DNA sequence: GTCGGTATTAAAACTGTATTAAGACAAAAT
DNA sequence: ATTTTGTCTTAATACAGTTTTAATACCGAC
C-alpha cells in the first residue's frame, strides 16, 4: 500500500458520490469513483483499492452480485452502504462476503470510523509505527523518558528513583542554574536545611555514574552558594576523537 | 479452531444474556458468559473465544477500556452491542479496536450474520497471516498471540490467564519500565482493590516459569520503587553456544 | 591559617522486594 | 451435590537495595 489508502466509491447518485469524494479527500484518502456495477468491477481490478464502499442500489447490477464477483478473486474489504434496512438485505450482503453494512442515512463520522477498522485490519502491525521521540540527548548521555532509562554511549546506567528524577530535572533544564531549594522542592516535595546534605550525596553519586566508560565530560556544574546546572555537551567523545 | 466456534458474551443484563445463550446454542455455537468487565477479561484469556460480543454498559468498567485491554494482547474479533447510538460512541469504540458495532435493539439475524463475517475473516486470516505477525520473539522466549501460548525454546510453558496477560504486557513494552500502577490498571482494571503484593507473587511465578530448561536469561528486571521491565535478549542460548 | 561551603566515603536506618506457604475461591469432573 | 483440580489472594519471612546520617577531606576566598 502506498502512503495514502485508496478507496473505491461505488454509488449511482452523483450528489452522494461527490459528497463522499470531498469527504475522503479532506481526510487524506485517495479515491476512485464508479457509478455502476460494470465500472465498479473494472475499477476494482485495475486500481486494486484498499477498501470498497458499495451502494447496493445500482442500475445495471445487483449489489450482492458485485460482492460475490469481487470475492471470487479478492479479499479486499467491502463496506456496503445501502438504503435498504431490512434484516434480510443485511444478512444476504454480509453472507455474500461484505465486511460491513451501513444503512442510509448514515453518519459520515461512523463511515470514516468503519473505514479505519477495515484499513487497520489490512495492516494490523503498521499502527504501532507512530512512536514519539521521547529521548533526550546531550553529548554521549541519552535519556529515554518513555523507557525510564539512561545510557552513556551504549552502556546503560542504573539509576535509583531519586537519581533518575534528579537527572531528568537537570536534563529538562539544561543550561539553567537550578537552586538548591528548587531542586529539593521538585524532588523531595519540601525541604529542610538538613536535606541539602542528601542532595550533595546524590549529586556525587550521579557524577560518578555519569563517568562510566571513560566518559569524563563534566555534565553537572556546581554553582557555589546557589545550586547546580547541567551543561550542554554537543560533541560526543566519539566525535571529538 | 475446533469444530464449533466459541463466542464470549459480555452482558450485564441477565435476560439478554440468556437470550443470547439460547440463540447461539441453537445455531451450533459454543459460548461463555461474562456479566462484567473483570470476568470478561478473565474469560477472554482462559477460553480464547473466536469472537467477543461486548455490551458497553457494564457496571465495573468502561467498555472501551475492555476493548483496549483485549487489544493489548490479542486481535480477536470484537463486536460491540450497545444501547448508545451516538456517532461519537461508535467512533470511539471502533477506533479503540472494535471490529463492528450494533445498536440495541438489534436483529438477531443481523447479529448472527455479523458473527459469520467475523468468523469468516478469522479463518481467512489464519490461513494468510504468517507466523511473524502474530508471534513475539525475544531470546529463546516466544509468544504466539493467536494461539495464546508461550514457549521457552521448544518447551511450551503453561501460563494462567493473569500470567499470560502480564507476560504480553511486558513483551509489548520490551525495553520500557512499566510502573506498578500502570501494570495493575492494565491487568486488574483498578488498583485499589488489589495490591502490589499480588503483582509480586505473579512476577515471581513468571520468572520461575521463564527459567525452564536451564534458560537462565533475566527477562524481567525489577526497578525498585518504580516497577518492572522486560529486557531484550537478542542472542538466544542456542546462538550463544 | 581559618572559615564557609562543598565533595566524598562509609555505615546505619529504612523502605521496598523475593519467595514461600497456606487459605479462599471458582470451574470442571465425577 | 461433592470432590478434584487449578488459580488467585493474603500473609509472613528473610533479604536486597535505597536513602539518610554523619564523619572526614577538600577547595577557594579573605
Write down the pLDDT at residue B194.
57
On whether both A83 and A152 belong to a single domain, the answer is no
Q: Is the pLDDT of residue A134 over 70?
A: yes
On whether both A10 and A125 belong to a single domain, the answer is yes
Mean pLDDT calculated for residue range B126-146: 73
Interchain CB contact of A142 with B (< 8 Å)? no
On whether both B149 and B177 belong to a single domain, the answer is yes
Task: Single out the residue of A51, A53, A54, A50 nearest to residue A65, CA to CA.
Answer: A54
Write down the pLDDT at residue B146.
75
If one counts the domains in chain A, the total is 2
Q: Cell 486494486 appears where? A: A48
H or E segment at A125? none
Write down the pLDDT at residue B188.
83
End position of a domain, from candidates B128, B150, B175 = B128
On whether both A72 and A12 belong to a single domain, the answer is yes
On whether both B235 and B176 belong to a single domain, the answer is yes
Write down the pLDDT at residue B3.
65
Convert the pLDDT of each residue in B27-66 to its tens digit.
Answer: 888 888 888 888 888 888 888 888 999 999 888 888 898 8
Write down the pLDDT at residue B238.
46
Q: How far apart are CA B6 and CA B76, in angstroms?
A: 11
Q: Residue closest to D11, CA→C1'?
A: B197
Residue B45, nucleotide of least CA–C1' distance: D7
* Region of residue A175 (left: phi > 0; alpha: psi -120 to 50; beta: else): left
Mean pLDDT calculated for residue range B100-109: 92
Which range (A115-129, B48-62, B113-127) has the least confidence?
Answer: A115-129
Write down the pLDDT at residue A128.
36
Q: How far apart are CA B219 and CA B175, in angstroms?
A: 10
Write down the pLDDT at residue B127.
60
Strand, helix or coil for residue A168 = helix
CA–CA distances in Å: residue A95 to residues A121, A234, B12: 19, 63, 29
End position of a domain, from candidates A111, A129, A147 = A129
How many C-alpha atoms does B67 have within 13 Å on its Cβ side? 26
Mean pLDDT calculated for residue range A55-73: 88
Q: Is A15 exposed, middle or buried (0-12, 13-18, 19+ CB in 10 A)?
A: exposed
Task: Single out the residue of A70, A78, A106, A110 nearest to residue A94, CA to CA.
Answer: A78
Domain that holds residue B87: 6-128
Strand C and A59 CB separated by under 7 Å:
no
Q: Is the pLDDT of residue B134 over 90?
A: no
Q: Going by C-beta distance under 8 Å and a sequence separation of 6 or more, which residues neighbour residue A3?
A: none
H or E segment at A133? none
Which of A117, A168, A187 is the best substitution to test chain B (most B C-beta atoms within 10 A)? A117
Residues of B in contact with A75 (CB under 8 A): 124, 128
Question: Chain C bases under 7 Å from protein CB?
Answer: 5-10, 15-21, 27-28
Domain membership of residue A1 (yes or no) is: no
User: How many helices and strands, by DSSP H and E, does chain B display?
Assistant: 10, 12
Q: Is the pLDDT of residue A193 over 60?
A: no
- Considering chain B, what percentage of its residues have pLDDT values greater than 70? 89
Amino acid at each position: 500500500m502506498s502512503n495514502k489508502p485508496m478507496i473505491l466509491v461505488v454509488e449511482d447518485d452523483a450528489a452522494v458520490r461527490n459528497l463522499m469524494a470531498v469527504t475522503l479527500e479532506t481526510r487524506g484518502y485517495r479515491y476512485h469513483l464508479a457509478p455502476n456495477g460494470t465500472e465498479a468491477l473494472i475499477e476494482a481490478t485495475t486500481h486494486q483499492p484498499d477498501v470498497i464502499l458499495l451502494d447496493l442500489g445500482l442500475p445495471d447490477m445487483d449489489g450482492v452480485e458485485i460482492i460475490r464477483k469481487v470475492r471470487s478473486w479478492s479479499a479486499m474489504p467491502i463496506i456496503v452502504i445501502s438504503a435498504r434496512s431490512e434484516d434480510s438485505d443485511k444478512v444476504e450482503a454480509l453472507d455474500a462476503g461484505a465486511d460491513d453494512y451501513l444503512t442510509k442515512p448514515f453518519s459520515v463520522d461512523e463511515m470514516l470510523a468503519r473505514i479505519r477498522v477495515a484499513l487497520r485490519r489490512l495492516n494490523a502491525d503498521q499502527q504501532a509505527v507512530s512512536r514519539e521521540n521521547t529521548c533526550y540527548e546531550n553529548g554521549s548521555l541519552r535519556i529515554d523518558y518513555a523507557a525510564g532509562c539512561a545510557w552513556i554511549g551504549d552502556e546503560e546506567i542504573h539509576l535509583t528513583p531519586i537519581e533518575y528524577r534528579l537527572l531528568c530535572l537537570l536534563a529538562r533544564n539544561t543550561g539553567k542554574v537550578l537552586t538548591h531549594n528548587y531542586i529539593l522542592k521538585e524532588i523531595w516535595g519540601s525541604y529542610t536545611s538538613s536535606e541539602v546534605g542528601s542532595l550533595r550525596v546524590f549529586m556525587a553519586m550521579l557524577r560518578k555514574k555519569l563517568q562510566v566508560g571513560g566518559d569524563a565530560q563534566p555534565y553537572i556544574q556546581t554553582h557555589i552558594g546557589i545550586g547546580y546546572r547541567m551543561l550542554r555537551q554537543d560533541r560526543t567523545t566519539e566525535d571529538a576523537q
